[in-house]
Amino acid sequence: MRPPFDWTLWGLLALAAALEFAGDLLLKWWAETNNWLSFGAGVLAYVASLAIFAMLLRRADLSVIFALWVGLAAVLTALAGWLLFGEAITPRRIAGILLVIGGVILLSK
């Protein structure tokens, strides 16, 4: 029998990835505009994401949590760079995104 779905684990993981993603976007905005408020907010988002990541280590394996946390944020950041900042989305980057997704799937099984 399969163990029940751990909503807390997946919810906290989604929150940690979202905070890391927000930190990435805020720091990019700071780099583009030199707005120091976005720098501070980006650092705070990273700190909150890392604190949640540390809590998640009590609930699951390091390799699984880290792959999901970083993988989700990396894919979202690559897509946001393309949509929000006009960064190139080349076939090589698409292949990289697909490899990240595949790696996350393999590690989480």
Count other C-beta atoms under 10 Å from residue 52's C-beta: 19
Domain boundaries, the chain: 7-108
In angstroms, the CA 79 to CA 98 distance is 12
**Interacting residues of 106 by C-beta distance below 8 A, sequence separation 6+:** none
Contacts of the segment 44-48: beta carbons below 8 A, 24+ positions apart = 45/19, 45/20, 46/19, 46/20, 48/19
Average pLDDT of span 3-29: 88
Convert the pLDDT of each residue in 39-70 to its tens digit: 999 999 999 999 999 999 888 888 888 888 88
pLDDT score for 2: 64
Query: What percentage of the chain has pLDDT greater than the value 90?
Result: 50
